[in-house]
C-alpha cells in the first residue's frame, strides 16, 4: 500500500491544468475591470482636493485681511502663485498644477461681508469652487 502511494507520488505530473490557469486569468480580469475606473476617478478627486486646499488657503488669507483692513487688498494670480498685497504686507500662496485663479482682483474694506474668490481646475470632477465671506468654501461658482 505504501509502495503504491510512493509510486503514484513519483509519477504524478506537477503544474496547473489549463482550466485552473483560465479561471485565475478570468478572476484577474474581473478585478482589473473593477479597479481601473475607481483609480481614474480617484485622480480627479485628488485634483479637486488640491484646488479646494489652494482656494481655502487664499480665502483664509483674505479673511485675515478683514480682521484689520488697512487700505485695499490686491490679489494677483499667475500660473504658480497667488500674491496678496496690502500696503507693505505681502503674502504669497503656492498653487497646485492645474488650478487657475482670476488674474487680479482688488478688495476694499467696504467688502468685508461680500468678498468672494473663485478657482477652477478643468482636470477635476467638480472643477469650479468658490470661497465667499458669507458661505465659505462651496462647489460651483457663487461669485
pLDDT in tens, 27-81: 999 999 998 888 888 888 898 999 999 999 999 999 888 888 888 999 999 889 9
Output the average pLDDT for the chain.
Answer: 86
pLDDT band at 13; cut points 50, 70, 90 = low
pLDDT band at 88; cut points 50, 70, 90 = confident
pTM of this structure: 0.72
Residue 8 has what pLDDT? 64
What percent of the chain clears pLDDT 90, i.e. is strictly above it? 29
CA-CA-CA-CA dihedral for 98, 102, 106, 110, to nearest 10: -90
Q: Are the CB atoms for 129 and 118 separated by under 8 Å?
A: yes
Alpha helices in the chain, H assignment, sequence order: 2-11, 18-65
Cα distances from 72 to residues 65, 82, 105, 107, 142, in angstroms, run 10, 16, 10, 6, 22
Sheet arrangement for strand 116-120: 100-101, 116-120, 128-132, 136-139
Q: Are the CB atoms for 131 and 120 separated by under 8 Å?
A: no
Amino acid at each position: 500500500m505504501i509502495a503504491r502511494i510512493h509510486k503514484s507520488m513519483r509519477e504524478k505530473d506537477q503544474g496547473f491544468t489549463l482550466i485552473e490557469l483560465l479561471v485565475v486569468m478570468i478572476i484577474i480580469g474581473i478585478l482589473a475591470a473593477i479597479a481601473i475606473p475607481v483609480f481614474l476617478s480617484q485622480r480627479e478627486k485628488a485634483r479637486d482636493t488640491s484646488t479646494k486646499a489652494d482656494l481655502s488657503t487664499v480665502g483664509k488669507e483674505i479673511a485675515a485681511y478683514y480682521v484689520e483692513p488697512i487700505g485695499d487688498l490686491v490679489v494677483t494670480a499667475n500660473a504658480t502663485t497667488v500674491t496678496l498685497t496690502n500696503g507693505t504686507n505681502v503674502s504669497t500662496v503656492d498653487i497646485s498644477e492645474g488650478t487657475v485663479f482670476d488674474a487680479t482682483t482688488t478688495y476694499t474694506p467696504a467688502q468685508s461681508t461680500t468678498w468672494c474668490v473663485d478657482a477652477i481646475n478643468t482636470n477635476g470632477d467638480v472643477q469650479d469652487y468658490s470661497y465667499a465671506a458669507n458661505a465659505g468654501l462651496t462647489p460651483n461658482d457663487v461669485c
